[in-house]
Each structure stands twice: as C-alpha cells, then as structure tokens.
Amino acid sequence: MIALPSIAFGGFSGSAKDVTARQVGGRSILSVRSWPTGQTTSAQVVRRASMSKITKSYKTLSDEQMLAWENLAKHTSGQSIFGQKAELSGINLYVRLNVNRVMAAESMILDAPESLNSVPSASYRLAVVSPSMVIFQGIKHQPLPNKFVVKMSAAVSPGISNGWSKTVIISPNAEDDWGEADLTTLYTKTIGLTPVVGQKVFIEVYWMNTATGETGQEVRGSTICLTDEEAAALVGGSRARYTEEDLMPGSTVTECDIEFTTGAPVIFFDVLSQGMDGVAQSEIYVDKPWPENSRGTVYVLNREKKENSYHIGVLNGVIKETYDHKNSAVFNAAAGTIGKPGEIFGAGILV
Amino acid sequence: MFVSTGNNFGAGQIRFKSYQAENYLVLNANFSFLTGNPDYQAAEVLEISVPTMRIDRSVEVGVFVGFRDRRQSYGSGTCYDGCTLARSWIKDSNTICIEKLACMSGKEKLYIYIAALYPQLNQGLSDGKQTKNSISLTPLPECCPFNSKSMFVVKEHWVMLLLILGNVPGAISSSPWAAAIENLPVDIQGVLPFCGGSQQYNGEFNGLSEITIKEGRFSSRYRCMVQDGSFAFAFMVRGDNEGEVVEEWPLFPEDERIRYIFDREKQGEWVQPGQFSFELAQGLLLLSFQGWFGSNGPGNGNQFEVETLHPLFPQGRSGVVGRTKDGNRLAIYDIFCETSMNPNYGRVIPACSAPKDTLIEVFDTNIYTYNQY
Amino acid sequence: MLTIVGNNFGGNYSSVTLKSVETRFYVVVDGIITVVPSGAAYDAAEVLELEVEGLQMPASDPSAVYLTCQVSGQRYVTIAKAWIKNSHTICIEKVAGWGSLASYQIHLRCLFFPTGYDFCPQYLARNKISLSNAPSGVTMRLENCLFKEGWMSFYVQFSQWQAADPTALLQLTLNNVPAGAAGSLLLVYNEASLESMGSGYVPMTLNGTSLVSDEAPGSLFNNAQDYKFIKGIVIFD
C-alpha cells in the first residue's frame, strides 16, 4: 500500500502486480498484492541505527558500571528477560535492554538495575484485520510500566505457514484501551501497504517493561484479512461505548465517554457537559442505538467545572429512543447543585 | 474488611469495607487527615496502599471530600462545613488513588468519604435496569421527608442508596432526624456525607452534614445548609461489618470536641493549680466539668488562659458544685468564659466560693448559657 | 418516669419513682431515696447501683448528686458522683464518712448526658432573675437560671445572706420566675465549726416568685462567711 506522498519500495514491476486505488480517511491509498522481500523497512533501519549507537556507548561506561552489568547478566537468563533462551553477557544485556527502552521512547539507562523481574506473557482474544482496520481485542492487561509490543507482517498468501520472520514492529509501546488496541494508523504507516482480503497477516506480540527494557515471552499468531463489513461486525458487537465520534447535532456535551459494557450493574460516564441556556438540562444524541435493556433513568454524580466553583449534585438521565428515532440521553438536576459546565463521571445506576 | 498498608499523604491506617467482584469493587471507608504534613504537600495524587484486591484497575469514580468550618454566628454555633467530589480509581491491585484537589489547599483537615462502586470497561454488557425501592419512613419524621426521586437498589452484596431531601420547614428544621427506612437491608451501616446547598462562608462548595445508616434506620444530628435537594449518594457494602462500631449519632474526633482542658501544676500567690476539663454537649448547650483545681478564695477569679479558642465555644456562664479534696465540704464554682474573635482571645475565669488554696474536686454537669456582650 | 426495680445495697424502693425528662441527648432526673448504710450488701458494694426501668440513655458523663443527713440537729450536705452506666443502671459513689450514719438521703436531681458527640450548638441565654425588695443583709451576686418546659436549672450565689432572725423562716421574693416553676432546693453554706462530713444547708421551697425555707436556718447560718449558693435541677410536678 502506498500513501501519497509515497514511501519508496522495491520489487514492483509491471502488470504482474495488481494495483487498486481507494480513498480512506481522505487519503488516496494504492494497494498491491504482495510485499516485496529483501527490503529494509524504515522501522528496521531505525532500530539498527539505535543498536549501533547503544553498543558503542557501552564502552563509555565506567569500570564499576560495566561490572554491575556483568553481575546482573550472571544472575539472569535470556529466557526470563527476553523470552528466549540465550547466554547473556553484560554488554548483551545492556544493549538489549536499552534498545528496547529507546524503541519505547524511553531514555537509556547507564546503571544496571538492581534486579530484573520476569515480564508476563502476552495474550489476546482476537486480532481483526481488514483493509481499513487493524484491531486487537481481549488483551490481558498488564499495568504500567509494561507496554504491549506488536509486530506484524504485510498480508501474504494464505498458503504461507511461517511468515514470522517478516514481521516488523508496528507498535513498541501500545497501551491497551481496556483490552483493545487499534493499530490501524500505525500499521498503515509502518507497512505502507493495505492488507488484501483473504490474505494472511502474521503476528507476534509480547509485553515489555519499559522501565528496564525487559521483554516477555513472544506469542505468535496469524489472521486472515476480512472484508471491512465482516471486521466491523466482529469488533463492533462486543463493546457498547459512545464517544465524541458518535455524537449527533443537538448534543450539549463536548467530551463524551459512556460505556454500558462494564460487566457490573452500572453504566460508566465521563462526560463534559456544557449545559444549555435557560434550561437546567443537558442533552446527548448518538448515532447508534443504545444497547438492549438500557432504556430507563440513570442517576449519576456531577461536579461543576468552573473556576472557583466546585458544586456537586446528582443528575437523572433519561435514556431512550425518541419519537423521531433519535438515541437520546437527557439529563436533568435531581439533587444538589448542578453547575455548568459540569463533569458527569463515575458509575451511574439505571432504574 | 481490610486495612491499608500505607499511604503517601500522611493519613493513618484506613479501614475499608469491600465487596470484590470479578470485575468491579464496592469500597466503603471514611477517614481524615491534616493537610499540613509534608507527605500531603509533596503528593501529586493521593495513593493508598492496600492488600491485593481482586481487580487491578478501574475507571474514575466520585468520592466525597469535605472540611469542617464551624463558627459562632448570630447567637448560635453554625455549621459551614463544605464538600465536593474528587475522582478516585484503582491504579493497580494494591493501590487506590484519589485526586488531590487544589481547591482544598487552604483547609487544615480533610475528610474523605468513600462509598463508591469502581467498575472496569469492556467487561460485557451491564445488567441493565435495576429494581428500585422507594423510600418509606417510619415514623414519618417531624420534618424533611425525602422526595420521590429517593430510592435504593438492593443487590446481593451491596446497596445503592439515593436520598434526596424534600421540603424543609424552617420552624422545625433544627430538630434531629431519625426514622426507619422500610425494607432497607439491616446489614448495611456507616456514616455518609449529606450534601447541602451553598453557604455564606464557603459558597463555592456544597454544605456538608453527615447521616448515619444503621439497622435499617437513618439518623442525622445536625445540618449544614440543608435545604431542598440535599442528598446522599452511596454504594454501601452489605455485611463485612465485623468489629465496626457505628454510632447512631456521630462522635467528634478527639481534637474537635467543644472542650477546654487545663493542666497547671504551678501555684503562685494568686495562681492556682488545676487539672480539669469542661466540655459542651448537645441538647441545650450542656456543660460537663470534670477535674480538680485550687480556689483563689471567694470572689477572686482564677484565670486560665485559653491558648486555642474553639470556634463554637461561646462566651457564657455556668455553675457547678464541687467538693473539698480532703473532706466533703461543698463549694460552688462559677465558670465564666470570655472570648473575643477580634482579636482572637479567650479566657476562663472561674471563681470558687471556697477559702483560698482549698483544693476542690468537681464532677458536675449543668446548663451553659450564652452571654452576648 | 423511672422506676427503681432493684439495687445492690439492700435498699427497698418498690414504691419509689423518679421523675424524669428524657431526650435523645440528655436525661433530667429528679427523685430522693433514703439509704441505710449498713448490712452486708451495702458493705460489699463498691459503688451503689440502682437498677431502673424506663431509661433509654446508654451511658453518661458523671454528674453530682447531693447527699443529705441530719446529725445532732444539724443538717449536712455533700455531693457524690453519679452516672448512667447502661440503659438500666444508675451508679452513685459511696462517700467516705457517710457509711457510719444511720441513714442518709440521695437527691438524684441532675442532668445526665454523654459528651463527645458531634453537634452544632444552639446558644441559649439565661432567664435573668433578680431579688424583689431585697431584704437587708441579702445580696445576690450572680444568677444563671434556665426555666424549661417542665424543669429548671436554678443557680444563684449570695455574697451575703444574714438572716434578720435565724430562728425564723427565710423568705425571698424573686422577679421573672415563671409561675409554674416550683420544687425543693438546697441553700448551701459553710461554717468553720461544722463537722468535716459536709457543708450545712437549709431546705428551701421555690414556688414561682416565692423562695422560702422549710425551717429556720439556725445561728450557724449567719456565722458562715463564704458565699452561700443554690445549685439545683428540679422537675416540676
């Protein structure tokens, strides 16, 4: 896939390749059937340059610092630190940890950490790839400073069984959004090609402790590129969430994050309401239906967001489909003092 | 029930009641701390360390943060306590975070009330509509019924309680409230913040009172700017009450009791020793005087300076009867408290009817009346 | 009303009821019992305990109750510590030196309440009283009374009270005392020759604006040099 302005790639010749052009998000996208081998990605170029610089920097360490790295290496094994068996020397450990840190946009560490802890293995439930979507779901969350590293290949023939050597780092430091990671933009930018429906994408994921650079066991997988419609159906049905992107005209909120899929008998709110002139009311209209069994009255806390004014109250919000088929949530004051603008946040109970 | 293992803002040990589901928590805790301590000053976010919880993160929910401000005003002690909300979240399985509010920076002591449900996201569709119970009170209180939006939701392990005040008739608005709430589970108990309206001295906050929920009853001893729409909003844990004593009528923290304590060993020509306390209590402004002192002789005051003026201890007078320490003779001890807010000055001038240098023991109670000058 | 249903010192109070006014925050009690300080039960009791019915308050701070007796024609008064131990027990201290008496009275007439509960006080001004046509030799130096519906706290000090005739009843007329304020009070005085078991007192009766002694005060009353005082809690009939 080539985005205009283009990133150069090789191996493209004549009519043997199939090129189509599409508009995605206002950009013109050309897609090709296969990814040329033997080429270096920009991501790989950056990584190799860092490793060289980091390796050279080891010689600038003091004797005490080098000794500390050697000692640490003796007490650790590659399996536990990088998920792979290997003998480690002090310089190996220094380079690998710092390469990982730099990749995660962290600064280098010159002093060896006191100790290293094993990083958990990664797991996820679903990886969905389509020409306009690359989404992971059900990522088993690990707390900071762990971040999710995702390596993926371009789409290749479904007949290829081992394409993990072709994976490149799509994201060195993803933070999952409650088990989800949307890597569409990063994939597009890194790979430079649109996945083709029916083709296979290889995946490797692992967690990295960005404070030390340690990485966990790599987990490998693959997925077949779906059509956009198939992908949307698979992804969209699992999470009932409404954000600014879903707001329709008439909404009097400027920030919106409402989610029904808490797994608890409450609805989550994090909304910034601007209120309305002359009416103590706040209205939200969204372009997709509310979930089943979610029509009713919700009670949730509100805090005024104004300089020198911190009044609080309870709002009651009526969630429904209006007579003219709008999906609405209209909030009125139920208790306390409702100032505007107001932050509507926390767990709301629906009755 | 669990107790915290530490915190980064100088509070003591914090006791939590909890219900820990697979993907959410309900937590209840009340605690206070002084903001002048260096840990609080240095903290950007208030963090409480706890034993490992069942979930390792949550979204942000609201907890109540309040302060005390009680002053003498127009011949009464008036409560100007205030409150607002702070965001709180589970940071990891051993850490509960609370937003540090810049608006509270000038308050000497903060009171935190946690009665919240901490959910996660992307855990599957919620249960949907819950069954609500309306509020029916027995007996119907002298004043202040809760309005029709008030309700509670009963779940197996917790109760969500929403109490919203209806009309408050002024004539009886100073009466204590208490009543049973029909069908409210008896295994929830605790002190909840009751958030009122704006107020004269802390107008940027809501007024703050407290109500006690215990054995299916609510009770409230005093009010702060309570008016139509004042409310309590709480997720309360069921059970998990072992070892927890909840007074129907809340106690003052020790350092807030309306009390003066004197401990003076020195005896000079006209300076008498004494170890005694006298304290005001609810009702009519009642005085309890306990301790002993030396008499300066009939008509001679024995002045004790008040170092820290209690904002609610008014000028006034009372009389208590005492007994000689080495015998059973009686003396009357007249307590006259003189205070001034400008400048901040207070002095207790007790005068005893016994001969000079007689040691008198007092363990008496009486009315304390207000003298306005 | 509180009913005494038992005690730990051998007393018999089956016919005794104590007047009471009870609110959530305080209890006013008014009643008199006679104690015979002899017998094994009295000797064994460290603290005198009255078992009562009708009390709701679970505990209180100590308050002072008067003990009175008469020895060789002289009336003596002292105080003992009293407190509510639980919702069915009132405790009274045993006072040294009074255990050898044939009998004495405990005037359970006091305010019981607990301290430490959070509240926001309502201030009350006193009901200012004064002497009407003060007789010669009587000077009320201060007063701090509060007349409530059904009971009162009565506190006055006299810088001097010389009875014109110590063999006659004492009589004062007061201003601003409500008509219904009535009950018995103790006028306390100290005189050097009194035994160490207590102070002297003159029993008084208040009936609205009239304050009259029940008997003549006697000569020691006039010899007493310190301030005489009345401090009493009374529930009206």
Per-residue pLDDT for A19 more than 50?
no
My answer on whether C133 and C48 are in the same domain is no
Question: Cα distance from B230 to chain C (closest Cα, Å)?
Answer: 18
What are the structure tokens assigned to B360, written together?
């008198």
* ipTM > 0.85, yes or no: yes
A104-128 as b/e, with b when 16 or more CB fall inside 10 Å? bebeeeeebbeebeebeebebeebb
Give B133 or B314, the one with higher predicted confidence.
B133
How many structural domains does chain C have?
2
Domain residues for the domain of C70 are 2-112
My answer on whether C186 and C98 are in the same domain is no
Whether the bond between A5 and the residue before it is cis, its omega within 30 degrees of 0, is: yes
Question: Is residue C132 in some structural domain?
Answer: yes
Minimal Cβ distance to C198: which of B329, B366, B372: B329
Straight-line distance from the first to the last Cα atom of chain C, in angstroms, rounded to the nearest whole number:
12
Minimal Cβ distance to B129: which of A241, A346, A351: A351
Minimal Cβ distance to A268: which of B87, B119, B206: B119
Note whether C197 contacts B: Cβ–Cβ < 8 A: yes
Among candidate residues C112, C145, C173, the one where a domain is terminated: C112
- Provide, rounded to the nearest whole percent, the portion of chain B with pLDDT above 90: 52
Per-residue pLDDT, B97: 98
Residues of chain C with C-beta less than 8 angstroms from the C-beta of B315: none
What are the structure tokens assigned to A84, written together?
């792979």
Question: Is residue C117 in some structural domain?
Answer: no
My answer on whether C79 and C137 are in the same domain is no
Question: Is residue C199 in some structural domain?
Answer: yes
Per-residue pLDDT for A347 more than 90?
yes
Among candidate residues C71, C90, C112, the one where a domain is terminated: C112
Per-residue pLDDT, A17: 38
My answer on whether C60 and C153 are in the same domain is no
Q: Which residue in chain A is spatially nearest to B20 when comparing CA positions?
A: A264
Minimal Cβ distance to B121: which of A261, A292, A314: A261
* Calpha distance C99→C83 (Å, rounded): 20
| Of A298-302, B139-143, B317-321, C21-25, the least confident | B139-143
Note whether B166 contacts A: Cβ–Cβ < 8 A: no
pLDDT band at A4 (very low <50, low <70, confident <90, very high): very low
Residues of chain B with C-beta less than 8 angstroms from the C-beta of C79: 321-323, 328, 330, 364
Q: Check residue B141 and report its DSSP letter.
A: P
Question: Cα distance from B103 to chain C (closest Cα, Å)?
Answer: 25
Cβ contact B327–C196 (<8 Å): yes
Question: Cα distance from C42 to chain B (closest Cα, Å)?
Answer: 20
Question: Is residue C119 in some structural domain?
Answer: no
* Calpha distance B288→B364 (Å, rounded): 6
Question: Is residue C150 in some structural domain?
Answer: yes
Q: Which residue in chain C is spatially nearest to B80 when comparing CA positions?
A: C120
Q: What are the tens digits of pLDDT across the range A264-288?
A: 999 999 999 998 877 778 999 999 8
Which one of B27, B84, B129, B134 would you mutate to disrupt binding with A, by most A Cβ within 10 Å of its Cβ?
B129
Q: Which residue in chain B is spatially nearest to C61 when comparing CA positions?
A: B288
pTM, 2 dp = 0.80
Question: Cα distance from A11 to chain B (closest Cα, Å)?
Answer: 43
My answer on whether C37 and C130 are in the same domain is no
pLDDT band at A71 (very low <50, low <70, confident <90, very high): confident
Q: Which residue has the tokens 């310190």?
A: C226
Straight-line distance from the first to the last Cα atom of chain A, in angstroms, rounded to the nearest whole number:
50
pLDDT band at B341 (very low <50, low <70, confident <90, very high): low
- What value does the mean pLDDT take over residues C156-182? 93
Question: Is residue C55 in some structural domain?
Answer: yes
My answer on whether C151 and C226 are in the same domain is yes
Note whether B96 contacts A: Cβ–Cβ < 8 A: no
Per-residue pLDDT, A35: 34
Note whether B131 contacts A: Cβ–Cβ < 8 A: yes
My answer on whether C138 and C166 are in the same domain is yes
pLDDT band at A82 (very low <50, low <70, confident <90, very high): low
My answer on whether C96 and C137 are in the same domain is no
Residues of chain B with C-beta less than 8 angstroms from the C-beta of A336: 195, 206, 229-231
Tell me the longest C-alpha to C-alpha distance in chain B. 82
Per-residue pLDDT, A205: 93
Q: Which CATH number does the domain housing residue C18 bear? A: 2.60.90
| Of A242-246, B251-255, B318-322, C2-6, the least confident | B251-255
Note whether C190 contacts B: Cβ–Cβ < 8 A: yes
Q: What are the tens digits of pLDDT across the range B95-116?
A: 999 999 999 989 999 999 999 9
Give B165 or A51, the one with higher predicted confidence.
B165
Per-residue pLDDT for B166 more than 90?
no
Question: Is residue C22 in some structural domain?
Answer: yes
> What is the full DSSP assignment across B17-57?
EEEE-SSEEEEEEEEEEETTSHHHHH-SEEEEE-SPPS-S-
Minimal Cβ distance to B231: which of A292, A314, A349: A314
Per-residue pLDDT for A329 more than 50?
yes
Among candidate residues C112, C145, C160, the one where a domain is terminated: C112
Question: Is residue C120 in some structural domain?
Answer: no
Compute the count of residue pairs across chains A and B with CB atoms less than 8 Å apart: 170
My answer on whether C56 and C93 are in the same domain is yes
Q: What are the tens digits of pLDDT across the range A96-141?
A: 888 888 877 788 889 998 877 778 888 888 899 999 999 998 888 8
- What value does the mean pLDDT take over residues C156-170? 93
Residues of chain B with C-beta less than 8 angstroms from the C-beta of C112: 365
My answer on whether C158 and C102 are in the same domain is no
Note whether C237 contacts B: Cβ–Cβ < 8 A: no
Per-residue pLDDT, B175: 59
Sign of the Cα torsion A8, A12, A14, A19 reads negative
Interface of B with A in 200-229 (CB under 8 A): 204-206, 229
Minimal Cβ distance to C123: which of B250, B314, B364: B314
Q: What are the tens digits of pLDDT across the range C171-184?
A: 999 999 999 999 99
My answer on whether C100 and C154 are in the same domain is no
My answer on whether C103 and C142 are in the same domain is no
Per-residue pLDDT, A31: 40
